[in-house]
Amino acid sequence: MRDAVVELMPDGGWSGSIQFPWRMAMAQRNQQFTPGTLVVAKGSTVAFPNLDHVRHSVYSFSKPARFEIDLYGRDQTRSYKFAVAGSVKLGCNIHDNMRGYIRVTETPFAGKTDRNGYITLRSMPAGNAKLTVWHPRLRAPRNEKSSSVRISTGDQSRKVKVRLR
């Protein structure tokens, strides 16, 4: 399954800085949020550039970030700072079918699966950790499924099964 967010949080937590290699932006193009799912670190500010010819708004009723950005036009950019970790569902007030998901995470060991449902996380410290899989259609409370894993040195793979709605 693609675009499932996978997070691995060491048991001791993570206090270091978090840097993801992708842009902290959720563009609107062809009346779609692009990328549909974005993983950001807590406290990140995400830009919402409008690349369409039409105007869009951005709203979220999700608990980690409740906000509304009024309609804005092409080549305009709005931004919002996500201060609380969690999943934020984005919609456009005038285009109901536009969905965007931002996962605000507190661990650097996070990302989203590729087309084939794979994700590779690197440089994790050994020890026990909590593995969380999230997907907007995952059939579970808060759309996420967590499990404890023990991280050892070296490569190791893990398969997580989820049910989708």
Task: Give the shortest CB-73-to-another protein separation in angstroms.
Answer: 20
CB 34 within 8 A of CB 27: yes
* DSSP conformational letter for 164: B
Compare residues 82 and 109 and give the one whose CB is closer to another protein. Answer: 82
Compare residues 78 and 99 and give the one whose CB is closer to another protein. Answer: 99
Task: Give the shortest CB-91-to-another protein separation in angstroms.
Answer: 3
Compare residues 10 and 91 and give the one whose CB is closer to another protein. Answer: 91
Q: Which of 2, 78, 76, 7 is nearest to 40 (CA)?
A: 7
CB 134 within 8 A of CB 105: no
Compare residues 53 and 66 and give the one whose CB is closer to another protein. Answer: 66
Distance in angstroms (rounded) separating the CA atoms of residues 132 and 119? 13
Chain centre distance of CA 123: 20
Compare residues 109 and 134 and give the one whose CB is closer to another protein. Answer: 134
Distance in angstroms (rounded) separating the CA atoms of residues 57 and 72? 6
Task: Give the shortest CB-64-to-another protein separation in angstroms.
Answer: 13
Sites of contact with another protein (CB under 8 A)? 59, 61-62, 66, 89-93, 96-99, 136
Task: Give the shortest CB-39-to-another protein separation in angstroms.
Answer: 18
Task: Give the shortest CB-30-to-another protein separation in angstroms.
Answer: 16
Q: How many CB atoms lie within 10 A of CB 101?
A: 24
